[in-house]
């Protein structure tokens, strides 16, 4: 009888060959659990660095580490991406205001109105490019976004309610709450716009001083609409 052949034993690859195999293996495709959110974050960064003009779907894709065609299932155009970015900026803006109001005493509605205005100013000045995209109609049609329209309507209603409570508590001089509301909005929007357009230097207001100036001007406005105590 012929001796039975020894079973062949496969030799394990050496460390060098394993490294060669690892290098030869194709890279795994990049995967996002939520590509839409990642693209919006990338576009927000682009706006923060160079304004809305710096945003493109292709550049947002590059920042997100995906192929140029990947974003188009979520954003078929640049306008769609800009709208989504504006909605996210609006959500953050509203969250800032709600957080400020949550810390304000419910028993002082005029104080709450001041907190609302101060939160508006601080967020707008710390996020000027994001504020511009939610406030300027030249960038996209705000009326086409149900989320932004709803948020704006609710913030206006919140301001109206706060002023109505302040008037009922005897804290306001004027009963024309619509005029007070428009004047307050013009103040905070105008100040934020001056910051975006770089007007403060001609007024001698340095960068770090701008927020303190904003608070002081808001206090002047609050003092002007507050009721005066009647003389004895």
Instruction: Tell me the per-residue pLDDT of 179-189, one tens digit each, with 9 for 90 and over.
Output: 999 999 999 99
Widest pairwise Cα distance in the chain: 130
Give the closest residue to 86 by CA, choosing from 19, 22, 169, 142. Answer: 142
Query: Could you please report the per-residue DSSP string of the chain?
Result: -PPPPPPP-PPPPPHHHHHHHHHHSPPPPP--S-HHHHHHHHHHHHHHHH-GGG--HHHHHHHHTS-TTGGGGT-SSHHHHHHHHHHHHHHHHHHHHHHHHHTS-TT-HHHHHHHHHHHHHHHHHHSHHHHHHHH-TTSS-GGG-HHHHHHHHHHHHHHHHHHHHHHHTT-BS-S-HHHHHHHHHHHHHHHHHHHHTT-GGGGT--TTHHHHHHHHHHHHHHHHHBPPPPP-
How many residues in the chain? Answer: 232
pLDDT at 77: 87
Low-confidence ranges of the chain (pLDDT < 50): 1-31, 230-232
The angle subtended at Cα 196 by Cα 116 and Cα 163, nearest 5°, is: 20
pLDDT at 161: 95
Q: How far apart are CA 59 and CA 146, in angstroms?
A: 26
Give the closest residue to 89 by CA, choosing from 138, 142, 53. Answer: 142
* Digit-coded pLDDT (tens) for 72-105: 888 888 888 999 999 999 999 999 999 999 989 9
Cβ distance 56 to 78 under 8 Å? yes
Beta-carbon count within 10 A of 78 CB: 16
Give the closest residue to 196 by CA, choosing from 123, 146, 104, 98. Answer: 123
* Digit-coded pLDDT (tens) for 188-205: 999 999 998 999 989 999
pLDDT at 68: 80
């Amino acid at each position: 009888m012929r001796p039975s052949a020894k079973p062949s034993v496969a030799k394990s690859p050496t460390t060098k060959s394993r490294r060669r195999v690892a290098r030869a293996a194709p890279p795994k495709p990049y995967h996002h659990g939520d590509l839409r959110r990642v693209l919006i974050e990338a576009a927000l960064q682009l706006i923060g660095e160079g304004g809305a003009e710096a945003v493109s779907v292709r550049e947002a894709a590059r920042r997100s580490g995906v192929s140029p065609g990947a974003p188009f299932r979520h954003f078929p155009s640049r306008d769609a991406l800009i709208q989504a970015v504006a909605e996210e900026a609006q959500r953050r803006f509203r969250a800032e205001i709600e957080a400020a109001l949550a810390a304000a005493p419910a028993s002082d509605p005029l104080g709450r109105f001041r907190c609302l205005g101060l939160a508006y100013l601080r967020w707008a000045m710390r996020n000027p490019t994001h504020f511009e995209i939610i406030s300027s109609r030249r960038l996209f049609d705000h009326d086409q976004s149900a989320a932004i329209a709803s948020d704006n309507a609710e913030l206006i209603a919140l301001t109206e309610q706060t002023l109505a409570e302040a008037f009922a508590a005897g804290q306001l001089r004027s009963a024309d709450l619509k005029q007070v509301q428009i004047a307050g909005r013009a103040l905070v929007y105008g100040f934020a716009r001056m910051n975006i357009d770089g007007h403060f230097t001609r007024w001698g207001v340095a960068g770090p001083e701008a927020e303190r100036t904003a608070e002081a001007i808001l206090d002047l406005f609050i003092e002007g609409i507050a009721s005066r105590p009647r003389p004895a």
